[in-house]
């Protein structure tokens, strides 16, 4: 049981195939056993995890990973999660939330897609899709050739260009900030274009915008330190100013996407 299925822990290889990572809190559940610990990332944790923590009930099992898959699928389709949950929400409030708030599905989604999401996001784990056979029986996935999926013979819709630093940050921006592909790639191009050469790591710059509470303040301090070590101050200042303009442009367009 992985326990912490979320977009941050899904990585793509060079062919575009998805891989589940970070088994730091994963646990082995044998027949008849149940887990009881409060573990995972709150926005992706299944209701029974919170119930078990509060009431000390029967615990939980593999169904929690399928709930997390449903949350992640909804988020990737719509740009935000079905429940407004953050890391600082008390467990008591989350238990109440699952019993009072209904998931809203987009009218643009097919009936088959909504049906699949409903089965993954069923609060009662006994009625939730919780195995591959359930997924294979879904009308939305009826056209999938599962043997080819298992053998990685299905061409992924997105294949990262490992030799180009631009597409990966473009994907990062789009998933984190909800930007269009064109907009995200343009912002990445701004970061990587400086006199025809790469003077920064776009991935690092964009991760900093996500992780730092005051990224521009941090960037100014680091640039000031680097500038003092550069004998060619005029050239360094020009490039630093250009980079600062790029970061400020991103800050203006960057939509805060809280995944705590």
Q: Are 72 and 7 in contact (CB under 8 A)?
A: yes
Instruction: Tell me how far apart the alpha carbons of residues 111 and 117 are, in angstroms, rounded to a whole number.
Output: 10
The gap from C-alpha 236 to its chain's centroid, in whole angstroms, comes to: 36
- The rounded distance, in Å, linking the Cα atoms of 224 and 237 is 9
Distance CA 160, CA 17 (A): 10
Print the SS3 string covering 122-149. CCCHHHCCCCHHHHHCCHHHCCCCHHHH
Residue 201 is a catalytic residue = no
How is residue 57 written in tokens? Answer: 């009930």
Contact (CB, 8 A) for 98 and 107: no
Calculated CA dihedral for residues 78, 82, 83, 85, nearest 10 degrees: -40
4, 22, 230, 234: which is the annotated catalytic residue?
A: 4
Angle between helices 202-211 and 215-229 (to 10 degrees): 140
The residues that are catalytic are 4
């Amino acid at each position: 049981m992985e326990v912490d299925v979320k977009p941050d822990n899904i990585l793509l290889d060079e062919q575009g195939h998805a891989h589940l990572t970070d088994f730091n809190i994963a646990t082995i559940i044998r027949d008849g056993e149940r887990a009881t610990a409060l573990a995972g990332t709150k926005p992706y944790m299944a209701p029974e995890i919170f119930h078990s923590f509060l009431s000390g009930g029967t615990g939980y099992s593999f169904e929690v990973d399928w709930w997390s898959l449903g949350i992640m699928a909804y988020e990737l389709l719509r740009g935000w999660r079905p429940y407004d949950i953050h890391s600082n929400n008390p467990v008591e409030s989350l238990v109440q939330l699952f019993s009072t708030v209904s998931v809203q599905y987009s009218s643009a989604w097919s009936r088959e897609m909504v049906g699949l999401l409903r089965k993954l996001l069923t609060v009662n784990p006994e009625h939730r899709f919780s195995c591959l056979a359930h997924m294979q029986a879904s009308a939305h996935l009826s056209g999938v050739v599962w043997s080819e999926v298992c053998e990685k013979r299905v061409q992924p819709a997105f294949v990262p260009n490992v030799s180009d630093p631009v597409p990966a940050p473009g994907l990062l921006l789009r998933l984190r900030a909800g930007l269009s592909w064109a907009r995200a790639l343009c912002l990445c191009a701004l970061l990587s274009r400086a006199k025809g050469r790469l003077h920064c790591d776009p991935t690092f710059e964009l991760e900093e915008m996500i992780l730092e509470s005051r990224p521009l303040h941090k960037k100014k301090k680091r640039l000031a330190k680097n500038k003092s070590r550069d004998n060619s101050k005029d050239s360094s200042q020009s490039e630093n100013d250009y980079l600062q303009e790029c970061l400020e442009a991103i800050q203006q367009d960057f939509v805060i996407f809280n995944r705590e």
